[in-house]
Amino acid sequence: MRFTKTTIQQATNLLLKSKNVALFAHTRPDADALGSSVALHLALAKANISSQVFCDSPLSQEMIDMGFDQYVKSEFFGQYDLYVSVDCGDANRIGEFAPVFTSQKNTLTIDHHGGDYYSANNCVILYSATAQIIYEIISGFGIELDKQIATYLYAGLCTDTGCFSHSNTNKDSFLLASKLVEYGVNVEYISRLFFKDTSFKQSKFIGERMNKMLSLCDGKFVVIFAQEQDWQKYGLTRLACEGMVSHAIDVKEAIVAASISQYGENSYKISLRGKNFDVQRICAQFGGGGHKFASGCQINGDLYDIIDKLEREVIYYL
């Protein structure tokens, strides 16, 4: 297969000449993956093109509150004339459906991570969110946007920019936000849902985890971690650890932060954040990836061995 670079215009044309499109959001989906996929699905419907959104993972409560569960199927079915991966920097991000996707001829990637091309057509642009690429693509559909589509795109843009505060936030992020808000997006609802709302149990759990945070490398590397019993104690699931890393990187002295959460008996999921410090190269060494200043990976082994391994990597690059 030839992997070619695809412009917005070409991606728009590819979609518009299709009759039935399969859309794949990445595993453990966030609001950009689902907001982009479902917005594209709704826009395609307006252009009289049928499509189906697939994602291999259960949806978090926030995603259900957004209404994404009404559109997303966790079992793959059907035959399509175009297969599209949305917000997936590499084919593995498609998760369980990766083999389905990679065995197709007519594939299109719409993504902003800037990884290697793995589709026949690759519309990869380093925007702050995939939602931004989707907006430009559907602008060529000749349809009228509505509040729902605008809300889904806004959710992707708002969350991927950390509520317009990460270093990937730029003039274009605000320009798009301003266009979307014109359709009546409830800005307060989205920021509350994704950045503020937390249950009492969750607050207690995070409080305890923050109390146990480790300060390494003279305070430049802050680690927050949780094992199964830590969230079970509060009747929570491992989803309680989502976003935990932000509390570590919020420490003023921290240049790098890690959250380490148990994923299996002897396996941990790592999220790394950097302040103008490339954490992608560290995650890549453990087979992970993401963005330059926000990346993740999974490491097998003992919790404290993993902390040591990460500390050695951080020291090397500091």
Q: Which residues bind Mn ion (CB under 5 A)?
A: 32, 87, 130, 160
**Which of 32, 313 has the CB closer to Mn ion?**
32
- Smallest gap from Cβ 142 to Mn ion, in A, equals 26
- Smallest gap from Cβ 298 to Mn ion, in A, equals 19
**Which of 32, 230 has the CB closer to Mn ion?**
32
**Which of 119, 130 has the CB closer to Mn ion?**
130
- Smallest gap from Cβ 160 to Mn ion, in A, equals 5
Q: Are 122 and 85 in contact (CB under 8 A)?
A: no
Q: Are 32 and 176 in contact (CB under 8 A)?
A: no
**Which of 131, 224 has the CB closer to Mn ion?**
131
Place of tokens 């957004």: 66
- Smallest gap from Cβ 295 to Mn ion, in A, equals 13
- Smallest gap from Cβ 144 to Mn ion, in A, equals 25
**Which of 89, 274 has the CB closer to Mn ion?**
89
- Find the residue with minimal CB distance to Mn ion: 32
- Smallest gap from Cβ 6 to Mn ion, in A, equals 18
**Which of 113, 269 has the CB closer to Mn ion?**
113
